[in-house]
Amino acid sequence: MGRGVFVETLQKAKQFFSEDKFQKLVGVEIEQVQNGYSVCVLNLNQNHFNADGLVQGGVLFTLADSAFAIAANSTDCFVVTLSTSMQYMTKATGNFIKATATLVNTSKHVCFYRVEIVDEVGALVAVANMTGYIKKR
């Protein structure tokens, strides 16, 4: 992303993240944005599946990372990822997956988010705990 922005509305978030070429390539769509919160959706296609017929773990990680970036940059700061711990719970079923990123805690220079990914039937597919470094407020 390379630059910070105060993403306070869905329109501003979509405008800012429209420049994220990888997010666009994968097909991540922003559904909701609030202060420290976001929901992103990915409509699945054949390119999102591995040789075993499961949604590729990297696709799930990309969706979680996108939701985190959007939520973290919806506050009055610019945040970059410090670390991520991702737990894969079950296979995704249906035509889409949805990631919800929620702010858990923040300090002067560090923020912590929990991202939950569910499938079309609402099953919890993966959980990511993401820590970010706040570059500026």
List of residues 6+ apart from 88 with CB closer than 8 A = 57, 60, 125, 126
Which structural domain range is residue 51 located in?
10-136
pLDDT per residue over 13-70, tens digit each? 777 777 777 778 888 999 999 889 999 999 999 999 999 999 999 999 999 999 999 9
pLDDT per residue over 56-113, tens digit each? 999 999 999 999 999 998 877 889 999 999 999 999 999 999 999 999 999 999 999 9
Strand order, beta sheet including 37-43:
28-34, 37-43, 96-106, 110-119, 124-136, 78-88
CATH of the domain at 127: 3.10.129.10
pLDDT per residue over 116-130, tens digit each? 999 999 999 999 999
Whether residue 5 lies inside any domain: the answer is no
Whether residue 31 lies inside any domain: the answer is yes
Whether residue 2 lies inside any domain: the answer is no
Whether residue 42 lies inside any domain: the answer is yes
The model's pTM: 0.88
Q: Which pLDDT belongs to residue 80? A: 93
Whether residue 37 lies inside any domain: the answer is yes
Whether residue 43 lies inside any domain: the answer is yes
Residue 66: left (phi > 0), alpha (psi -120 to 50), or beta? alpha
The number of folded domains in the chain is 1
Q: Which pLDDT belongs to residue 52? A: 94
Whether residue 20 lies inside any domain: the answer is yes
Whether residue 41 lies inside any domain: the answer is yes
In one-letter notation, the amino acid at residue 103 is L
